[in-house]
Amino acid sequence: MAKQNLTRNINMGFRVTEEEQAMIYKRMKQTNISSLRAYLLKMAIDGRVIQIDLTSTNENTRLLRNISNNINQITKRAHETGNIYAADLDEFRKDYDMLWEQQEQILKALSKLLGAV
């Protein structure tokens, strides 16, 4: 016989239909929680589980690296030659604009997510 968790000594249970069970497992899979008990406990206590797609933040990180590299190259060239090339500034502006587009998408997604609270 397995040793029971003495701090959680109250058993709670409920019945569901097959459709409800399928919906529960579908939502559980979306949250990447593999334990039904952990998922149901989390939902019962917190009311929901939030999974955030960080793809946009990864793209922002890439764009920030590009911008940092561009700034370093522009600065180095300006120190070496006393000139700043329009092509360098255009590349910098392109990455900067893309960064702000991504940032707006992230903020909209977070606003939508938090609006659902």
pLDDT at residue 116 tops 60 = no
Name the token pair of 55. Answer: 């793809």
Q: What is the pLDDT of residue 2?
A: 53
Q: What percent of the chain has pLDDT over 70?
A: 91
pLDDT at position 46 is 84
pLDDT at 1: 45
> CB 44: neighbour CB atoms within 10 A?
9
**pLDDT above 70: residue 3:** no
Give the pTM.
0.45
- Band of residue 90 on the pLDDT scale cut at 50, 70, 90: confident
Where does the chain have alpha helices with state H? Answer: 18-31, 36-46, 55-81, 86-115
Separation between Cα atoms, residue 6 and residue 84, nearest integer Å: 70
